[in-house]
Amino acid sequence: MARSDTDHRIRDLVEPFNKKGVEITDATTFAGDLEFDSLTVMDFVAAIEDEFDIIISMNQQAEIETWGQLVDAVEALKPVGN
């Protein structure tokens, strides 16, 4: 699956969390632009983990600040063929 496909799948997942309808780019930040609090981040990460059958560690989560970093991290963690 191409990075663009991963990006699209994650965009579908973020929709219910994006309460303000922020336009998402690779530079969009979760804390600043989307105004995610820690509970929202946990719920969003759980949805991503379920969708892609991956686990994003707490250390990895702490390093992910932008949409592009998230998509790249999911790409790196995905099982082959997912």
pLDDT tens-digit profile of 5-40? Answer: 999 999 999 999 999 999 999 999 999 999 999 999
Residue 21, Ramachandran bin (φ over 0: left; ψ between -120 and 50: alpha; else beta): left
Percent of the chain with pLDDT strictly greater than 70: 96
Going by C-beta distance under 8 Å and a sequence separation of 6 or more, which residues neighbour residue 2?
none
Indicate the SS3 state at residue 51. Answer: helix
Q: Is the pLDDT of residue 51 over 90?
A: yes
Question: Mapping DSSP to helix (H, G, I), strand (E, B) and coil, where does residue 29 land?
Answer: strand
pLDDT of residue 27: 98
- Residue 23 DSSP class: P
Residue 1 has pLDDT above 70, yes or no: no
Judge whether residue 69 has pLDDT over 70.
Answer: yes
Q: If 0-12 CB within 10 Å is exposed, 13-18 middle and 19+ buried, where does residue 52 land?
A: buried
Mean local confidence (pLDDT), 32-57: 96
In 3D space, the residue among 22, 80, 77, 19 whose CA is nearest the CA of residue 48 turns out to be: 77
The dotted CATH code for 3-77 is 1.10.1200.10
76 has a pLDDT exceeding 80: yes
